[in-house]
Amino acid sequence: MNGLPSRLDARLLAFPIMRALFPGSFDPVTQGHQDVLRRAALLFDEVVVCVMFNSNKVGRLPIAERLDRLRAAATDLGNVTVDSHTGGLLVDYCRRAGIDVVVRGVRGVRDLDHEMPMARMNHELAGVETFFIASDPALAHISSTLVTTMSQQDRVSNDDLRGLLPAGGGGSKGS
């Protein structure tokens, strides 16, 4: 009332909007990805889930289809946006988008061993912090590689695959 900010106003200014990037190849999107995304959406004000081009991986699904599946998996998450980045480093995307936190899901120590050097490099290059979310134990066995391998087997039914893919964000065999 005197024109000065209240204590509450000052505290709100001290806590900027927290934006996080959840990057991955998402080839295909799995229930594990969806679980990490949902949990990240509860923790951050905004989450950008981003299909990243990985030159070490041969993509099975076109990027446009992966984006559609991510949108379907995030339908009820109002603070999630879907994007893609096909050139440059992850930190390049973070700098351009003004994002300081990367979210990564980890299923176990193998994932953590793989993620730690990248987290250190992202921090050294751009001050980007990495926030690890431990997988739900019921979903820790699921990976995109497992889903792809199973989908190529004639004896695995679409019903079996549906248990690994998010509702509305999955696909059928051969897709």
Query: Each residue of 10-68: pLDDT tens digit?
Result: 555 666 789 999 999 998 888 889 999 999 999 999 999 999 986 777 788 899 999 99
Contact 139, 32 (CB under 8 A): yes
Contact 104, 39 (CB under 8 A): no
What pTM does this model have?
0.77
Query: Each residue of 83-110: pLDDT tens digit?
Result: 999 878 999 999 999 999 999 999 889 9
Structure tokens at 107: 């299923």
Mean pLDDT of 106-121: 94
Assess if CATH 3.40.50.620 describes domain 17-162. yes
> Rounded to whole angstroms, what are the CA distances from 63 to 15, 31, 35, 38?
35, 18, 21, 21
| CB-side neighbour CA atoms (13 Å) of 123 | 9
Structure tokens at 141: 């066995």
Contact 37, 47 (CB under 8 A): yes
Q: Nearest 5 degrees, angle CA 136-CA 142-CA 146?
A: 170
Provide φ and ψ at 130, rounded to 5°. -115, 130
Full strand arrangement of the beta sheet holding 80-85: 80-85, 46-52, 19-24, 101-106, 129-134
Chain length of the chain: 175
Question: Packing angle between helix 63-73 and helix 31-43, nearest 10 degrees?
Answer: 60
